[in-house]
Chain A
Amino acid sequence: MNAPSDRDLILQARRGEAEAFGELVTRYQTSVFNVCYRILHERGEAEDLAQEAFIRAYDRIHIFDIEREFGPWIRRVAANLCLNHLESQKVTTEIDDERDADSAQLPEAVQEVSERSEQIRSALASLPANYRIIVELRHYQEMSYDEIANELNIPLSDVKSHLFRARKLLAEKLHAPD
């Protein structure tokens, strides 16, 4: 028997079958969590916000447009939640470079990759919240300038200027001599 499609699961969830929605969560939880983790750079918060995104999606399952794809939609919901979270917190834009502690016991090759990943994550986290979200939507969710402008309700010119500025900052962070 084939696994039910996302659409089938959404229809079942609308009939009150919470387990069907649980199956959808199982399918998308890792990618949704990673959206939050890239934006927030804090694991516990990222997991909380990813959970919150699914709870909101469940509450709105009756008004979800069944013709849309669930995956991209839930990732956008998560990204927006994280942006709101950051804006409400007024998080300082300068986040630590001291988070490499838990990679200490990994094999050398893995450690190099993991160190570089951590540098990228730190660099992302050092961006202002509104830059971070645009990098997320463009690079990880592959949205066009127009789609981003629509999603965030900002002018196209802001999308471009924030994105290009964010990339410049990332390049400076990542390619700066140690």
Chain B
Amino acid sequence: MHLTDNQLNEYLDEATNERAQIESHLSSCDECAARLSTLQSLFVEIESLPEQALTRNLAAPFTLRPSLPVPQLPTFLTLTVILQAAIALIVLIIAAPFVIQLIPAIEMPSLPNIFSQLQSQWTSWLDILSTFQVPSIPEIPILEMSSLAFVLAGVSVLWILGNGLLLRNQMK
């Protein structure tokens, strides 16, 4: 009796416990040996199927996640920011007396006062135009003003320098 298809399949799948029996039949039966050979070549053919290439990268959703680590500022830049704040504070303290001195001078006039001032300035302007006389310049505390301007300029320069440094490093 010839081998069944199941026997041949199990033999090739190495899932039979009648191996010796099958092999002895195969060695004496050309017909079954030919059937086995045909089945085996089918296996080879199925398993020879070449792999195809992908057209997209499946790793992209994992490598391009938005949860990238937040970039940290270098330590010296963090120190620069603190130093900048400290210097600005010191400068403000130094500048404070000048500012206080100036505050009484900046009196907010009431609304009628403004109108009367505007009116008198307008008439004086008309006066100047008609007489071509140089008006008298009111006295200004030149020393205090120039010190304050100097301090404010110093603060601005420090501020701009510090920010410029930060921006330049972020752009790199």
Contacts and interface: CB of A to CB of B under 8 A. Distances in A.
Interface of A: 18-19, 21-23, 25-26, 29-34, 37-38, 43, 47, 50-51, 54-55, 58, 113, 116-117, 120-121, 124, 135, 138-140, 144-145, 160, 163-164, 167-168, 170-171, 174
B102 to A, nearest CB: 58
30 contacts: A18-B62, A18-B63, A18-B67, A21-B62, A25-B58, A26-B57, A29-B54, A29-B57, A29-B59, A30-B51, A33-B54, A34-B52, A38-B49, A43-B52, A43-B55, A50-B58, A54-B62, A55-B61, A113-B50, A116-B45, A117-B50, A135-B46, A139-B46, A144-B13, A145-B13, A160-B9, A160-B10, A164-B6, A170-B42, A171-B39
A171 B38 contact: yes
A113 B50 CA distance: 9
Given A30-B54, A47-B54, A167-B39, A120 B49 contact: yes
B52 A167 contact: no
Contacts of B45: 116, 120, 174
A18 B65 CA distance: 7
Interface string B44-77: 0111011111111111111101010000000000
A168 B38 CA distance: 11
Given A33-B52, A34-B52, A22 B47 contact: no
A26 B64 CA distance: 13
Interface of B: 5-6, 9-10, 13, 15, 38-39, 42-43, 45-47, 49-63, 65, 67
A33 B58 contact: yes
Nearest to A52: B58
Contacts, number: 84
A26 B59 contact: yes
Nearest to A167: B42
Given A38-B49, A139-B47, A167-B39, A19 B55 contact: no
Contacts of B55: 43, 47
B9 A23 contact: no
Contacts of B5: 164, 168
A18 B13 CA distance: 40
B62 A164 contact: no
A139 B55 CA distance: 25
Given A25-B58, A30-B54, A171-B42, A163 B49 contact: no
4 closest A-B pairs by beta carbon, nearest first, are A22-B62, A22-B63, A25-B59, A22-B59
